Structure 1
Amino acid sequence: MSISSRIRMQAIRSVAPEAEGAAGSTANAKLGSHSTGVADSGRWSTRRIAMYALFVALAMVTSFIEFPITPVAWLKYDPSGIVCLIAGFAYGPSAAIIVSVLGFVPHMFADPWGSLMAVLVALCLSVPASLIYRKIRSRKGAALGILAGAVLAIVAALLGNLVITPIYAHMSYAAVAAMILPILLPFNLAKMAIHAVVTFLIYKPISNLLAKQQ
């Protein structure tokens, strides 16, 4: 091999790693434009478990903050669903499941049937939302995820009322069905609207804060 050929080969070898590094940086920049950098890692580190525990504790606390949002005073709103959504966006569907289930454990002793419905609604809201957001890491993905989760959660809430409420509230199926349009549907629409708006406004700052702590 001639001297000039050797020089060209060395030049190519020295440039190739730089090109690969630049391409990798560009790809990472594109991926990270909306990614929080938190849910991308599936490692069950001590810190990750601690953050799950923190979200579970927040869900427990917020589940006790109840107040009416419609003229029907016995139907009360609590913001625990927002915590489940944020956990799912930040750490993925596994976090959404864990927080949605464990967050209502304190209520299961006093109100097992109501807690079962609350867990069902929280799962239907947060798990689909986190799955969609994991695929589409942007505000559009977050909006689509929240919308899909809210629709499923409303359906689950209405069906849950039809099946479970007659069992523990000693009401007939017909009586519960008669409440769907005038009472249950408006309440659940208002509930999911609050969840959606608040989550959409705060999820990104919180996720970015969590990502910086990694």
Structure 2
Amino acid sequence: MEKRVFATTYLVKVGLLAALSYMLMYLDDIFLPLTRLIFPEFLKLDFADVPALIGGFALGPLAGTLVALIRNIIYFLTKSSTAGVGSAANFVTAVSLVIPASLIYQRLHTRKGALIGMLAGTLSMTAVMAVTNYYIFLPLFARVMEIPLNVVVQAGAKVNPWIVDLRTFVLFATAPFNLLKGILVSLVTLAVYKHISRLFKHF
């Protein structure tokens, strides 16, 4: 009986975090006027990974992964315009941040552990997305959208003259973007985690 109650509570918490995470994805346009000054327009900043990171800290890496997975499945079914490429990239981005961060926090369950975990997660996300964008997601995005890969590169060149090919696009666009995103998501998580974890303890 206790196991069943625990499982139900676990799923409810994951579901609530996934719903919040999904809603936060719709706020990406708020930051567009700022991000478009230094990044290509299709790189949109949002805080949808905050609930996933909170889930990872409070319930473990699997919960954080499930939050990101559910969010992206719903987004793919309701709004995605890239045949799932954007949702797949978003999921990989999230788990490459959440899993290292939550694993470290599980071992070092202190504020210092959270900081180390989020730093490791941010660096992991930046590195993983640099590799996967170069070899998988950007070429696949261009193919799905039926545009030359050079068009993607040119979108970056419009805001950064150092971008001249796919390698420099990853180096000067996607890598800094994910580094910035990881830092901001970590700061917001750090600010709200204790409050939300207290709420979780009441049900």
Fold agreement, TM-score > 0.5 = yes
Match of 1:175 in 2: 165
2:115 counterpart (143, 148, 170): 143
TM-score by length of 2: 0.77
Give me the whole-angstrom Cα distance separating, in 1, the residues matched to 2:26 and 2:65.
19
Please tell me whether Structure 1 or Structure 2 has the larger radius of gyration of its CA atoms. 1
One of 180, 188, 202 as aligned partner of 2:192:
202
**Alignment length, in residue pairs?**
173
- How far 1:178 moved relative to its partner? 2.2
Match runs of 1:1-214 below 5 Å = 44-66=6-28, 67-68=31-32, 69-70=34-35, 71=37, 72=39, 73-109=41-77, 110=80, 111=82, 112-163=84-135, 164-169=137-142, 170-171=148-149, 175-211=165-201, 213-214=202-203
Aligned counterparts of 2:186 and 2:9: Cα–Cα separation in 1: 28
Residue segments in structure 2 that go unaligned for 5+ positions in a row:
143-147, 154-163
Aligned residues of 1:162 and 1:176 also touching (Cα < 8 A): yes
Residue 23 of structure 1 corresponds to: none
Structure 2 vs 1, CA of residues 160 and 43 (structure 1 numbering), >3 Å: closer, same or farther?
A: farther
- Distance in 2, Cα, partners of 1:57 & 1:43: 21
Structure-2 change in CA distance of 1:107 and 1:182 (3 Å): same
**Cα offset, 1:44, TM superposition:** 3.9
Distance 1:89 1:56, change over 3 A: same
Distance (Å, rounded) in 1 between the aligned partners of 2:188 and 2:56 = 15
